[in-house]
């Protein structure tokens, strides 16, 4: 017994010459209008745009020309911008580890150790570290452990500063 | 001397060779997949005068963005994905056409004139029917029927699941059958 779904699955393979119809399948194709219509469709689809001819040599010449062109390098971020980015990154990492408690579904407070070694923080100078800690102190009432600062959190002035740095 | 298919380097090997500076590897990849890409783009509705540029752009983006191909799907599928996205961008920017016209020379010159006539008719109807399908159904149908891809490959190429690809295919076939009758 040939089922239509099974025959449908084999149509592409037969149309591409990977397989051939069994006698029973051929008989089914003659008897089943639905399968016959699909088979016509698959055959026509298999030959669609068969005469499209590309100019491979021309494509290769142009492709190699383009690939030999150096990739335009983005201008490295300026030093102040790098520092701002480092501070922001360090603050984001610190937020993950320094928030003191995490409440479980049972409402039992679990204390997370607050002493975490962060090499990024060690590289900050006194002012940068102060800025990070100020941000942490000031933001505890609005920042949950799951919410990290995003670009949208920047004030207009901060955003302008970043854009100014990017624009040189 | 003709090399057997098994003697030819496979796509991942050629990609690795190209990464290592072998330009000839890129040539082989273009020769291997360029024609199929051209057919796919034509089937999706690319203007015949733009197919070469689109194929070239597809390979350019592929080679420039090789780190984006992590080898989880076939390189071929990844090329089709890039090509589809390129064409989508062209249509959005108004540079592509709505759908291809089927010229007289688009029909195969079969020995059976009656069969050719039927194929001609069905082919033209199919072109018109494909234009009516949602983009994803059109892409799945072409990857499956024109390119002979398995559902797993189609799923990777179009960032969907094999089951969803199968559903899209059957919806496409159903609508095209309705269109043809």
Q: What pLDDT digit, counting tens, does each position of A117-147 carry?
A: 565 666 666 667 677 666 665 544 444 444 5
Question: For residues A138 and A66, what is the distance between their CA atoms, to the nearest angstrom?
Answer: 51
Closest to A40 (Cα-Cα) out of A56, A29, A53: A29
pLDDT, mean over chain B: 84
Which residues in chain B are contacts of A45 at CB distance < 8 A? 126, 141-142, 145-146
- Establish how many alpha carbons lie within 13 A of residue B70's alpha carbon, considering only the half-sphere containing its beta carbon: 2
Answer yes or no: is pLDDT of A113 > 80: no
Contact B29, B74 (CB under 8 A): no
Who has greater pLDDT, A111 or B36?
B36
Residues A70-76: contacts with CB within 8 Å, 24+ apart?
A71/B64, A75/A168
Rounded to two decimals, the ipTM of the complex is: 0.80
When pLDDT is cut at 50, 70 and 90, the band that residue A16 belongs to is very high
Q: Torsion-angle region of residue B159: left (phi > 0), alpha (psi -120 to 50) or beta?
A: left
Question: Which range among A24-38, A43-57, A96-110, B8-22 shows the weakest confidence by mean pLDDT?
Answer: A96-110
Choose among A40, A47, A63: nearest Cβ to B60. A63
Confidence of residue B107 (pLDDT cuts 50, 70, 90): very low
Collect all residues from A whose CB is shorter than 8 A from any CB in B.
Answer: 8, 12-13, 15-16, 18, 34, 37-38, 40-56, 58-60, 62-64, 66-67, 71
Contact B52 A54 (CB under 8 A): yes
The pLDDT value recorded for residue A167 is: 62
Contacts of B41 in chain A (CB under 8 A): 52
What distances in angstroms separate CA A72 from CA A9, A166, A168, one per listed residue? 47, 16, 17
Distance CA A100, CA A114 (A): 6
How does residue B102 score in pLDDT terms, banded at 50, 70 and 90?
very low
Which pLDDT band, with edges at 50, 70 and 90, does B1 fall under? Answer: very low
The more confidently predicted of residues A120 and B127 is B127
- Distance from the Cα of A102 to chain B's closest Cα (Å) equals 36
Q: Residue A143's pLDDT is what?
A: 44
Residues in A closer than 8 angstroms to B37, CB to CB, are 54
| Inter-chain residue contact A41 with B39, CB threshold 8 Å | no
At B111, is the pLDDT very low, low, confident or very high (cuts 50, 70, 90)?
A: very low
What band does B60 get if pLDDT is binned at 50, 70 and 90? Answer: very high
State what percent of residues in chain B have pLDDT above 90: 62
Of B30, B37, B177, the CB nearest to A60: B30
- For the segment B73-94, the average pLDDT, to the nearest whole number, is 90
- The predicted pLDDT at position B110 comes to 41
User: Each residue of A149-158: pLDDT tens digit?
Assistant: 566 666 777 7
Cα A15 to chain center, whole Å?
36
CA distance B32 to B41: 16
* Alpha-helical regions (H) of chain A: 4-15, 23-31, 33-46, 56-68, 79-98, 119-122, 126-139, 156-167
pLDDT, mean of residues A56-76:
86
Of B38, B64, B177, the CB nearest to A38: B177
Q: Which residues 6+ apart lie within 8 Å of B100 measured at CB? A: A49, B42, B43, B45, B46, B47, B48, B127
Could you tell me the pTM of the whole model? Answer: 0.66
Mutate to test the interface with A, among B42, B129, B146 (most CBs of A within 10 A): B146
Quote the longest CA-to-CA distance of chain A.
85
CA B157 → CA A63, B54, B129, B165, distances in Å?
Answer: 23, 18, 23, 10
Chain mean pLDDT for chain A: 76
Q: What is the pLDDT of residue B101?
A: 38
Determine contact, residues B146/B181, Cβ cutoff 8 Å.
Answer: no
Burial of B166 from C-beta contacts in 10 A (0-12 / 13-18 / 19+): middle
Is residue B112 pLDDT above 50, yes or no?
no
Q: Which two tokens stand for residue B99?
A: 């759908």
Helix axes B51-64, A56-68, angle to 10 degrees: 40
Average pLDDT over residues B119-145: 89
Question: What is residue B162's three-state secondary structure?
Answer: helix
Q: Could B34 and A50 be called an inter-chain contact, meaning their C-beta atoms sit closer than 8 Å?
A: no
Cα(B124)–Cα(B44) distance, rounded to whole angstroms? 14
- Stronger pLDDT, B113 or B123, i.e. the higher one: B123
Please tell me the distance from the alpha carbon of residue B94 to that of residue B98, in angstroms, as a whole number: 9
């Amino acid at each position: 017994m040939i089922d239509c779904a099974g025959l449908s699955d084999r149509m592409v393979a037969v149309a591409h010459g990977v397989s051939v119809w069994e006698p029973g399948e051929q008989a089914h194709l003659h008897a089943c209008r639905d399968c016959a219509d699909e088979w016509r469709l698959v055959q026509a689809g298999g030959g669609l745009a068969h005469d499209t001819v590309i100019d491979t040599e021309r494509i290769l010449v142009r492709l190699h020309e383009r690939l030999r062109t150096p990739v335009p390098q983005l201008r490295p971020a300026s030093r102040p911008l790098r520092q701002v980015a480092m501070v922001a990154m360090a603050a984001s990492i610190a937020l993950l580890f320094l928030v003191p408690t995490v409440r479980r579904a049972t409402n039992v407070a679990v204390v997370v150790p607050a002493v975490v070694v962060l090499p990024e923080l060690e590289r900050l100078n006194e002012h940068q570290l102060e800025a990070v800690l100020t941000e942490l102190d000031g933001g505890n009432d609005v920042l949950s452990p799951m919410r990290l600062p995003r670009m949208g959190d920047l004030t207009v002035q901060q955003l302008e500063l970043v854009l100014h740095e990017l624009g040189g | 001397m003709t090399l057997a298919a098994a003697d030819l380097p496979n796509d991942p090997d050629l990609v690795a060779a190209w990464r290592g500076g072998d330009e000839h590897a890129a040539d082989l990849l273009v020769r291997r997949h360029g024609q199929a890409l051209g057919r796919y783009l034509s089937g999706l509705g690319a203007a015949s005068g733009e197919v070469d540029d689109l194929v070239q752009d597809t390979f350019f983006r592929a080679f420039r963005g090789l780190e984006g191909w992590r080898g989880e799907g076939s390189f071929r599928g990844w090329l089709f994905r890039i090509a589809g996205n390129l064409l989508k961008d062209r249509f959005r920017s108004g540079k592509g056409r709505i759908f291809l016209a089927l010229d007289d020379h688009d029909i195969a010159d079969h020995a059976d004139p009656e069969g050719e006539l039927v194929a001609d008719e069905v082919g033209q109807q199919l072109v018109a029917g494909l234009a009516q399908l949602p983009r994803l159904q059109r892409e799945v149908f072409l990857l499956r029927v024109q390119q002979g891809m398995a559902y797993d490959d189609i799923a990777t190429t179009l960032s969907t699941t094999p089951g969803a690809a199968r559903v899209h295919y059957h919806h496409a076939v159903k609508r095209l059958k309705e269109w043809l009758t």
